[in-house]
Amino acid sequence: MTERDVILNELAQGLRPMSQGIEWFSSLAPEEQSQTLRFLAHHCIQARAVAEDGPESISRAGLRPTHTPAVLITRGPIDHQLGKIASLTPIDERYKAFRLLIAVLAIADARRSEHYCSGGCGHWWHKLSDAG
């Protein structure tokens, strides 16, 4: 587990405010931002994100439905769309993508935790609230 892993999971679980997440993300070099977005997209897929998570994710992220990441998440298979969102390069789109991917991860992982981990699990990120 890396500092990045902890920060992203704390953001997704609401244990860290998004303002801190944006501040952290903005401190990263462009290549690190790209890696972080790809990492988030991968974890959304691992958490079993589904297309139906799109509208709630848009709302949670505070995006307008016309913002590029919001448009992308509602068009086509979710795994392909998450990759496209993670690949956005304009800086303002990266910040929107970051907020959206955190929201997708939050929704998908909460569902996974409820369905598959309610009796206990070995996922370190599901124990973050116990550590604080």
pLDDT at 55 over 80: yes
Q: What does the pLDDT look like over 95-132, one tens digit per residue?
A: 999 999 999 999 998 888 776 666 665 544 545 555 54
Q: Which amino acid is at 36?
A: T
pLDDT the model gives residue 127: 55
Cα–Cα distance measured from residue 75 to residue 98, given in angstroms and rounded to the nearest whole number: 18
Q: Up-side HSE of residue 110: CA atoms within 13 Å toward CB?
A: 13
Q: Which amino acid is at 97?
A: A
Cα–Cα distance measured from residue 53 to residue 40, given in angstroms and rounded to the nearest whole number: 15
Q: What does the pLDDT look like over 3-48, one tens digit per residue?
A: 898 899 899 999 999 999 999 999 999 999 999 999 999 999 999 9
pLDDT the model gives residue 114: 75
What are the sequence ranges of the domains in the chain?
3-131
Q: What does the pLDDT look like over 76-100, one tens digit per residue?
A: 899 999 999 999 999 889 999 999 9
- Joined together, the tokens standing for residue 5 give 């892993």
